[in-house]
């Protein structure tokens, strides 16, 4: 339960970096879904979810949040 205590009392920079990591995780999920959509058996069943757009937006937002929060976390 020590990790829960550390998570509750995390600094603002830590929370920003953690949120950025969540967006990077979302980007990885969207990347896997886009690859699965590309390897579908029936090429005419495209689907309506814009996985590449979700991947790109989540990767840019996550990278920006990590780039913003990480230097402050490393300074202490």
Query: How confident is the model over 6-62, as pLDDT tens digits?
Result: 777 778 888 898 899 999 999 999 999 999 888 877 877 777 889 999 999 999 999
Residues 69, 14 contacting (CB under 8 angstroms): yes
Q: Give the pLDDT confidence score for residue 46 in this predicted structure.
A: 73
Selection from 9, 19, 11, 5 nearest residue 76 by Cα: 11
Q: How far apart are CA 39 and CA 33, in angstroms?
A: 10
Q: Give the pLDDT confidence score for residue 65 in this predicted structure.
A: 95
Give me the residue label for tokens 């989540």.
58
């Amino acid at each position: 339960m020590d990790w829960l205590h550390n998570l509750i009392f995390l600094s603002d920079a830590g929370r920003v970096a953690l949120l950025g990591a969540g967006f990077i995780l979302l980007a990885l999920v969207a990347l896997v879904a886009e690859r699965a959509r590309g390897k579908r058996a029936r090429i005419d069943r495209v689907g309506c979810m814009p996985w590449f757009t979700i991947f790109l937006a989540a990767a840019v937002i996550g990278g920006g949040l990590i780039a913003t929060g990480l230097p402050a976390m490393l300074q202490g």
